[in-house]
Amino acid sequence: MPEPAANEPPSDAQLRDLELMQACSRREPAAQREVALRLAARVRRLARLLLREPAEAEDAAQLALLEILQSASGFRRAGSLEAWADRITARTTLRLARELRARRSLFQRMTELDLVADAIPGLLAKPAPTFSIEAFLTRLSTRRREAFVLKYAVGYSFEEIATLTQAPLGTVKDRIAMARRQLRKMIEREALRAEKPGGAS
Amino acid sequence: MSESKARRDRVVAEYRRWATLQERLEDETATATERDEAQTLALDNPLCRREHDLLTSFRQASTAPGEAERALVERTLERLRRSHAVVALRPGTAPPALGSTSARSPRRSWVLAGGSFAAAALVAYFAWNTSEPPPSAAPTAPGSVSRGMGQLALVSGQVRVNGAVQRLPGATLHGGEHVEVVFGRACLALDRGVVACLDAQTEVVLQGAADAELSVVVERGRAVAKLDKQPAGQGFALVGERTRAHATGTSFALAKDPAKPLRVDVLEGTVRLTDPSTAIDLGAGERWEAGVGRSVVTRETAEWYRALLTGSAALNLSLARAGSEVAVLQVESEPEGARVELDGSPVGQTPLAVLVPKDPEGASHSLWLGLAEHESERRSLDFATAGVHRLFFELEPTPRAVAADASTKPATERLRERPSADEKGETPSEDPRALLSEARQLVAERRWSDAAQSYRRLKATFPKSAEARTVSVALGQLELDRLGQPAAARRSFQSYLDLGGGALSQEARYGKVRAARALGDDAAELAAIREYLRAHPNGVNAPALARRARELGAE
């Protein structure tokens, strides 16, 4: 995703962030609290977008926030603090997701939503007349969801997503393309319902 | 058919058509006419706009913390405080220093000590020097197995103890426990100064009692051990199948690889091999293979085991003084796999975490990270406090190094050796898609310079192809972000727009802004921002660019 060129002079905001993170790396409680409060909503949202289970997402958010605070010394002024935090959140959450997947039994993996939903059309509950993107995510498979979130919520390139998700580039492109197709189907259905009597306007 | 139904069907049909075109655009196979058609539909069709709005609303944005976020912050800060709490070694385990019983200096300091093994790297470790007499290697009390026979001291990659992933060292190890290295490596600091390091794809089970022989049963993979002189009647063994390799003070390894005979390599000292029918002694530099017999340990094998043990001695510190406090040094990097050196001594590869002694005097240490084709990083740190000292490095690629090193890479050689269509004086026979695919593969391999070369070749060989036009943006991004060539990047972005633009026009215009900033050309940057805002008033970067334009003096 686009970042400022490395050789441009730092802005005041960037310098403030750098000082803040340096204070964090010195374990100054006030700085740690300030950073945590500033990033908490962002970190939590990305973790919840990436993971299906809210409880797991809360764990991931905490791990990510912890990692951000503990890695404060690694923050550089190039790029924003938020983008840096997003990257750590994505990496931490995906690592947790992989660990959780590895722990799950074969049966659990076989009954993951994506496999079942693909095999049994109409299994899932019908969406509301108009839907949010978060509602759409619940209908995506785990891996499509991860790729879609990283592409459209965080704005990563296909290559970056391939690295983060440890998947081949072609696979990542395919996952995102399939997710987009699912999204388009939902948009079409939404439009059809809106036309019907009693549908949303 | 009612008018509304006809209209609805038309909207859906247009939306489907747009979706098809969009996929062709993303696949870079769309014609100029199709691009124009897609742009028109995107503006006119309500479903296209709905999709755009959904995706736009989806982007990450900072918001104020609510109640749930505040609770999350409190939980995190509490956990952070706990992680800084003191990690204390369990008392009663006081092995001598690994590999050396040399006299200790009167001053507490970190020193690199060499053992008697041929290469200093093998025994590179940090000795905990103290004016106090060194702790004796007193036998631990019977029953110590239940309270543990050592600690997990170095973790790099994915390591499991009894199936549970261990991200940090320090876990107490008991007899009967199962340790698996899925990838990376692990080192175990066992009682009585025994250090055992395990290679990737290795599984072992720990066995032993404090007053008898400790052993590591290798179920698969490779383990190397180094131990100090053991008390009489005690010792250490690596076990594979029915073969036990006993030692009372040496360095040796046991390998149990699939489709290969069981092997024992002695690196130093003497090892006694026993199985139900035989007992033989092996000396330094000797190898024994099941069903084969004796041979010699090759230099490469010895070096390989040295590497596996390298840095493991850092853990020795933690055991040097019973009850002493230790810290955990955790080093991660992006990308992973960087070599880590502490005060010039190799420790391992990222990600890794290793026990180190707490140093109340706060002596400064130098941590260095190096990875091929990336800028190395150095950082100073101390271990004045216990707990986890966590460091994360984002290593930047070095374009020059990549370019300088490129000639050694087979793919690059292929690229360079292959004459262009012009050079061959014939019609190009290569498929532009094949060239594009090759370039993308190079990008995936993070070989930026090679990828740029491939993109340029595609543009030169097939200047009129759809691929040539679309790669201009990717090339510009490579030149700007990876190769540090903003002027070239600006030309690449402009060339895309000069050819009529397309689905990537927004990226190209934003690229021009960034390139101008990188060049420090304020006037060009402002002009590029204005161009962007005119063409994409609702673009993703429009608000930030409008702010930047004001900073540059625009009204």
Chain A contacts of B46, Cβ < 8 Å? Answer: 191
Chain B contacts of A195, Cβ < 8 Å? Answer: 4-5, 8
Whole-angstrom Cα distance, residue A149 to residue A152?
Answer: 5
Mean pLDDT of B7-34: 83
Which pLDDT tens digit goes with each residue over B318-366? Answer: 344 334 567 788 888 777 777 888 877 777 777 788 877 777 777 788 8
Whole-angstrom Cα distance, residue B486 to residue B268?
Answer: 56
CA distance A197 to chain B (A): 12
Predicted local confidence at residue B531, as pLDDT = 92
User: Is residue A133's pLDDT more than 70?
Assistant: yes
CA distance readout (Å), B233 to B229, B236, B239, B360: 11, 10, 18, 38
Q: What ipTM does the predicted assembly reach?
A: 0.80
Whole-angstrom Cα distance, residue B124 to residue B311?
Answer: 6
Whole-angstrom Cα distance, residue A63 to residue A114?
Answer: 26
- Helices within B124-233 (DSSP H only): 144-147
Mean pLDDT of B126-130: 26
Using CA coordinates, name the residue in chain A closest to B389.
A70
Chain A contact for B510, CB < 8 A?
Answer: yes
Find residues 344-383 of chain B whose CB sits inside 8 Å of chain A: 379
CB contact under 8 A, B63 and A41: yes
Predicted local confidence at residue A34, as pLDDT = 94
B323: alpha, beta or left? (left if phi > 0; alpha if psi -120 to 50):
left
Between residues A108 and B193, the one the model is more confident about: B193
Predicted local confidence at residue B118, as pLDDT = 24
Predicted local confidence at residue B445, as pLDDT = 66
CA nearest B338: which of B388, B396, B291, B290?
Answer: B396
Chain A contacts of B392, Cβ < 8 Å? Answer: 67, 70-71, 73-74, 88
Taking every pair of Cα atoms in chain B, the longest distance, rounded to a whole number of angstroms, is 99
Using CA coordinates, name the residue in chain B closest to A67.
B390
Quick count: other Cβ atoms within 10 Å of Cβ B322? 15
Using CA coordinates, name the residue in chain A closest to B24.
A177
Buried/exposed code over B161-187 (b: 16+ C-beta within 10 A; e: otherwise): beeeebebbbbebbbebebbbeebbbb
Predicted local confidence at residue B24, as pLDDT = 80
Which pLDDT tens digit goes with each residue over B396-432? Answer: 777 654 444 443 343 333 333 333 333 333 334 457 7
Predicted local confidence at residue B354, as pLDDT = 81
Which of the residue ranges A4-13, B254-263, B354-363 would you say has the lowest mean pLDDT? A4-13
Whole-angstrom Cα distance, residue B72 to residue B31?
Answer: 50
Chain A contacts of B23, Cβ < 8 Å? Answer: 177
Buried/exposed code over A76-102 (b: 16+ C-beta within 10 A; e: otherwise): ebbbbbbbbbbbbbbbbbbbbbeebee
CB contact under 8 A, B55 and A73: no
Predicted local confidence at residue B114, as pLDDT = 26
Whole-angstrom Cα distance, residue B250 to residue B238?
Answer: 12
Find residues 160-189 of chain B whose CB sits inside 8 Å of chain A: 165
Mean pLDDT of B7-23: 86
Classify B170 as helix, strand or coil: coil
Question: What type of residue sits at position A102?
Answer: A
Mean pLDDT of B536-546: 82
Chain A contact for B332, CB < 8 A?
Answer: yes
Chain A contacts of B50, Cβ < 8 Å? Answer: 187, 190-191
Give how far the C-alpha of residue B325 lies from the chain's centroid of Cα atoms, to the nearest Å. Answer: 29
pLDDT band at A149 (very low <50, low <70, confident <90, very high): very high
Token digits of residue B89:
């070694």
Nearest to A184 among B51, B379, B444 (CB): B51
pLDDT, mean over chain A: 79
Predicted local confidence at residue B276, as pLDDT = 76
Predicted local confidence at residue B63, as pLDDT = 77
Backbone angles phi, psi at B522, to 5 degrees: -60, -40
Whole-angstrom Cα distance, residue B190 to residue B187?
Answer: 9
CA nearest B298: which of B288, B285, B310, B289?
Answer: B285
Q: What angle do CA B195, B201, B203 make, to 5 degrees?
A: 55
Buried/exposed code over A112-143 (b: 16+ C-beta within 10 A; e: otherwise): ebeeebeeeeeeeeebeeebebeebbebbbbb
User: Is residue B277's pLDDT more than 80?
Assistant: no
Find which of B58, B63, B333 to mutate to test the A interface (most A CBs within 10 Å of its CB).
B58
Q: Which helix (H) or strand (E) holds B441?
A: helix B432-444
User: Is residue B258's pLDDT more than 80?
Assistant: no
CB contact under 8 A, A40 and B72: yes
Token digits of residue B115:
């053992």
Predicted local confidence at residue B209, as pLDDT = 61
Which pLDDT tens digit goes with each residue over B178-191? Answer: 898 877 788 888 87
Mean pLDDT of B87-102: 30
User: Is residue A199's pLDDT more than 80?
Assistant: no
User: Is residue B526's pLDDT more than 70?
Assistant: yes
Predicted local confidence at residue B227, as pLDDT = 82
Predicted local confidence at residue A7, as pLDDT = 56
Whether B65 and A40 have beta carbons less than 8 Å apart is answered as: yes
Backbone angles phi, psi at A77, to 5 degrees: -70, -25
CB contact under 8 A, B51 and A183: yes
Whole-angstrom Cα distance, residue B459 to residue B455?
Answer: 6
Predicted local confidence at residue B421, as pLDDT = 39
Between residues B291 and B72, the one the model is more confident about: B72
User: Is residue B298's pLDDT more than 80?
Assistant: yes
Whole-angstrom Cα distance, residue B306 to residue B115?
Answer: 12
Whole-angstrom Cα distance, residue B265 to residue A74?
Answer: 41
Burial class (CB in 10 A: 0-12, 13-18, 19+), B479: buried
Whether B205 and B176 have beta carbons less than 8 Å apart is answered as: yes
pTM: 0.42
Predicted local confidence at residue B84, as pLDDT = 52
Whole-angstrom Cα distance, residue B137 to residue B97?
Answer: 10
Between residues B115 and B497, the one the model is more confident about: B497
Which of the residue ranges A120-134, B96-110, B295-309 would you say has the lowest mean pLDDT? B96-110
Quick count: other Cβ atoms within 10 Å of Cβ B286? 19
Mean pLDDT of B52-68: 82
CB contact under 8 A, A36 and B517: no
Token digits of residue A79:
């790029």
Token digits of residue B540:
């993703």
pLDDT band at B115 (very low <50, low <70, confident <90, very high): very low
CB contact under 8 A, B15 and A91: no
Which pLDDT tens digit goes with each residue over B444-485? Answer: 666 777 788 888 888 888 887 777 877 888 888 888 877 777
Whether B146 and B174 have beta carbons less than 8 Å apart is answered as: yes
CA nearest A87: which of B329, B401, B332, B399?
Answer: B332
pLDDT band at B82 (very low <50, low <70, confident <90, very high): low
Predicted local confidence at residue B320, as pLDDT = 41
CB contact under 8 A, B4 and A195: yes
CA distance A111 to chain B (A): 23
Mean pLDDT of A134-138: 84
Which of the residue ranges A76-90, B5-19, B115-129 would you say has the lowest mean pLDDT? B115-129
Whole-angstrom Cα distance, residue B377 to residue B504?
Answer: 36
User: Is residue B62's pLDDT more than 50?
Assistant: yes
Predicted local confidence at residue A146, as pLDDT = 93
What residues form DSSP beta bridges with B290? none
Ranked by mean pLDDT, the top range of A148-157, B42-51, B64-73, B451-460 is A148-157
User: Is residue B300's pLDDT more than 80?
Assistant: no
pLDDT band at B166 (very low <50, low <70, confident <90, very high): confident
pLDDT, mean over chain B: 72
pLDDT band at B546 (very low <50, low <70, confident <90, very high): confident
Q: How many CA atoms lie within 13 A of B166 on its CB side?
A: 30
Mean pLDDT of A145-169: 89
Which of the residue ranges B92-106, B330-344, B432-446 would you say has the lowest mean pLDDT? B92-106
- What's the 3-state SS for B458-484? HHHHCCCCHHHHHHHHHHHHHHHHHCC
Which of the residue ranges A34-38, A102-106, A163-167, B208-212 would you say has the lowest mean pLDDT? A102-106
Predicted local confidence at residue B211, as pLDDT = 59
Whole-angstrom Cα distance, residue B166 to residue B348?
Answer: 17
Chain B contacts of A61, Cβ < 8 Å? Answer: 72
Strand B325-334 and strand B387-394: the pairing is parallel
Between residues B101 and B149, the one the model is more confident about: B149
pLDDT band at A118 (very low <50, low <70, confident <90, very high): very low
